[in-house]
Chains A and B, each alone.
Chain A
Amino acid sequence: MTNFTKTLLGYSAAAMLMGSTAMAESHGGDTIKVGILHSLSGTMAISETTLKDAMLMLIEEQNKKGGVMGKMLEPVVVDPASDWPLFAEKARELIEGNGVDVVFGCWTSVSRKSVLPVFEELNSILFYPVQYEGEESQRNVFYTGAAPNQQAIPAVDYLMDNEGVERWVLAGTDYVYPRTTNKILEAYLKDKGVAEEDIMINYTPFGHSDWQTIVSDIKEFGSAGKKTAVVSTINGDANVPFYKELGNQGISAEDIPVVAFSVGEEELSGLDTGPLVGHLAAWNYFMSIDTPENDKFIEDWWAFTGDEKRVTNDPMEAHYIGFNMWVKAVEAAGTTDADAVIDALPGTEAPNLTGGISTMLPNHHITKPVFVGEIQDDGQFEVVWETDDLVPGDAWSDYLPESKPLISDWVELKCGNYNTETKTCGAE
């Protein structure tokens, strides 16, 4: 009970603090407004609320350092309530109504697609912090999460080389990110000589909870005498019953490892991780990574939330990098004007939390290291493999025939989808 009261007190204190700072600053006059567009209610609240808190923390710290160009930053938080069309409305409200200079937000690809036209029309800037399916590069959007070549492909390489996996189950939730990622992975695996019958693709609806048949199919598929692994793009809440069913049916990571692209520390914190030990996840950041930057970030996070049980995760790091890049670009441009900042951002460098320096590329993606971690029984990941260097994000996959000739370059070519074969821009 004491813990519970503490949390409650913590929340209300944080809420009061937020309210008062927001009020104080809105009377302050000359501030730079930063929009935060993350769902605080509805299905996606589980993931996005944390990102809102992380942004508030980053802004608070920047203000302690004296703000940007001598001006204080003022966060403007709106709640798009996990409702995709509402994202577009709220984005418009932020830019037109509140006059924010930059927006940090969105999680699902469909919410990002929904706000794209708004950012284009009103010429503002969006930082998007989540790993996604690629096949996109927009002038007003900066993608600080991983593109498929920064997460999916290296993870598959790891399984192939280190675990000797020959048979693949690509399991995902039925929407755009898993479908595109699996299309890329399927092309990549076939490219590597994996036969058609050694790939099983399976889609399930959002929030799927009855995994009995699929897990028993996976077990069956894995009994063909070849080492089998599951590549999971299962999203959100559906993961918990999936892993529970795996554990109950006795599939351990030593038999059939599952590598997930959407399961991080946050998702594991609601789970009894005992049966999951040894399953894998591929990310560009893990809370367990031991660097001074990361230690400081975690300490700050705990101090900010007042709860030493809160975890940090990959999209939070993406916001950390993106926010610092934006601050640097604004200071370099000397203005918050969207066109000037968009031009200043490519080439901007900012430290990531894993000991490297990430760079914003001309295609509006960033360079990141890739880590493969094994789930431990304390809900953390232990890094078992990492890339030697930072991997530059690739907007258009080289493994899909239709996007192979496409490149994105907003500096030289001023084009997000330049076809190198026909030498034209805009041909998809």
Chain B
Amino acid sequence: MRLLPRLLLSFALCLWASIAAAQTLEELVSTLPDGNYDDRAAVVAQIAATGDDRALKVLEVLLAGDLEVLDSNGRVVQIRKQGRDDFASDILTGEDYGEVPSRGSSKVRVNNSLRRDIRTAIGTMTLRHPDPARRLAAAESAFRSPDPDQSELLAEALAAETDPKVAEALAEAIAAGTLALGGSEAEKLGAVAVLRAMGNTDAKTVLSGAATDPDAAVADAAAEAVHHIEQMQNLWGLAQNVWFGLSLGSVLLLAAIGLAITFGVMGVINMAHGELVMLGAYTTFAVQEAIRSSFPALFDWSLLIAAPLAFLVAGGVGVAIERGVVRFLYGRPLETLLATWGISLALQQLVRTIFGPNNREVGNPSFMSGAFELGQMTVTWNRLWILVFALAVFAVLLFVLKKTPIGLQMRAVTQNRAMAANMGIRTGWVDAMTFGLGAGIAGLAGVALSQIDNVSPNLGQSYIVDSFMVVVFGGAGNIWGTLAGAFSLGIANKFLEPWTGAVLAKILVLVFIILFIQKRPRGLFAVRGRAVDA
């Protein structure tokens, strides 16, 4: 009989305690928007300490910058964007407030130091998260900001960890903590060994700090480890330079390959080539705008949709240029140069009038964002996909030229126009198609370049000189030469850049090409035979 009241009492106490905790979180959240960043940091620490299940969500939303206060009722809400509209739901109760006007709520602001605090707090809370990816992120965040309160938690988490990758990250975080916060000599030497094995830039950052440790043995070990990592990095630096060179080469290849057809094969000096690239980039922008407003789910496919459209738009403009202007000027290179230069200015100003002079935002689809680590080097996804894309375009072009009837006709017309005409080939039509093909490929280049450069009316100008350089260096009339030219210029540029700086590297490459052309006026892969004299 005495048991029951006690049970009741303890039950009531439990209930009260949980209510009190819940109230605290609610109170804390409602005070979050007040005060300055330091006040907010204190509230964040308190929120993390409540142990409430919902605290994690609050902090994550705050970190993402989606936590706002409704002006109408002062509720702290999470904002979700759908297209151009904002939808709010209560951060704690999840109650839906529907669509809110974009100026009807004010954001709970965060700055860098607050962001660091939030990340640390989230890290502490997710060290034992069921998802290994979250635990890994938590360990990495602990590595970056060693915190004395975290040491024990990290050790416990390591003891309980089953995933070897996460365990390794936790051990590294503990090592970084030991070096930053102090420990015995043996512990520190152990930590140095762990980080030496880790061997990347982050480890080097921590070890460089430890190289000034008052304990001589630790300092020496750390200095030796830094030296070891640097040597490893120098080796990898070579690989990294080759990769950077390939990546720059792929951009050059994309920009130049269309020109390899119009200039290399047809012999037309097309100064508007860069603007055709720009049109491709603007097509991508237009496609993305349409997708953003109508089918947001398709965003990751936007580039695939944009590619054929860009080919058609730029190709169409190319055909129009050829039929409208260039065909009257065959055999008069100077006039062609001036006329196409005029067209390039006209196209630029046209785009400026329609889209405005400002840069336009072209987003990266998710598969093209971020990077992955390959050994000691960072490979960014967008560059990797552009390399793949450039090679694919090259392969398709090669196939079209060598294996299709239209390709055969193109080669026939450029090699001997009179003979081709006698064989019944409509040379005028083939000229238009060839020019259109070159222009269309320039449009494809624009799709890729929109991912790494800005989409502005000036986009094309920065590539036109490089494109001519590649085609002339590789040997006009040979698209294999363009491939070799693009990659060798890219790699040469990237190996020179760390020594000489970007400005001088560009100049040196230009000087090299001038000297090279003196020696081999027809470029790397000279076209031999009658075509040369035609």
Contacts and interface: CB of A to CB of B under 8 A. Distances in A.
Contacts of A245: 380, 452
Given A43-B458, A254-B119, A212 B370 contact: no
Interface stretch (A217-225, A393-401, A417-425): A217-225
B503 A374 contact: no
Contact of B201 (A41, A174, A213, A223): A223
Contact of B453 (A11, A163, A241): A241
B506 interface: yes
A49 interface: yes
Give the dominant DSSP class at B's interface. Answer: helix
Interface string A227-267: 00000000001001100110111100111010000000011
Interface in B128-145: 144
Interface string A370-382: 0000101100001
A203 B500 CA distance: 10
A219 B377 CA distance: 11
Interface stretch (A62-70, A134-142, A269-277, A340-348): A269-277
Contact of A223 (B208, B290, B452): B208
B378 interface: yes
Which of B116, B240, B502 has the largest number of chain A CB atoms within 10 A?
Answer: B502
B202 A205 contact: no
Nearest to B380: A248
A208 interface: yes
Contact of A266 (B209, B251, B358, B370): B358
A62 to B, nearest CB: 26
Interface footprint category on A: 35 or more
Interface stretch (B107-115, B334-342, B430-438): B107-115
Interface string B8-30: 00000000000000000000000
B207 interface: yes
A46 interface: yes
Contacts of A98: none
B371 A240 contact: no
B455 interface: yes
A248 to B, nearest CB: 4
Interface string B439-466: 0000000000000111111100110000
A237 B359 contact: yes
B501 A202 contact: yes
Contacts of A253: 112, 115
Contacts of A49: 356-357
A169 to B, nearest CB: 13
Interface residues of B, number: 68
Nearest to A384: B111
Contacts of A362: none
Contacts of B211: 225
A374 B112 contact: yes
B208 to A, nearest CB: 3
A338 to B, nearest CB: 32
A81 to B, nearest CB: 10
Given A43-B458, A278-B112, A213 B497 contact: yes
Contacts of A244: 364, 382, 452
Contacts of A382: 109, 111
Contacts of B248: 210, 212
Nearest to A239: B454
A248 B382 contact: yes
Contact of B202 (A40, A223, A271): A223
28 contacts: A1-B290, A45-B357, A45-B457, A213-B244, A213-B498, A217-B498, A219-B201, A223-B202, A226-B209, A241-B454, A244-B382, A247-B369, A248-B371, A248-B383, A249-B371, A250-B371, A253-B115, A254-B116, A254-B119, A266-B358, A269-B359, A270-B359, A270-B456, A271-B359, A272-B363, A277-B65, A374-B111, A384-B111
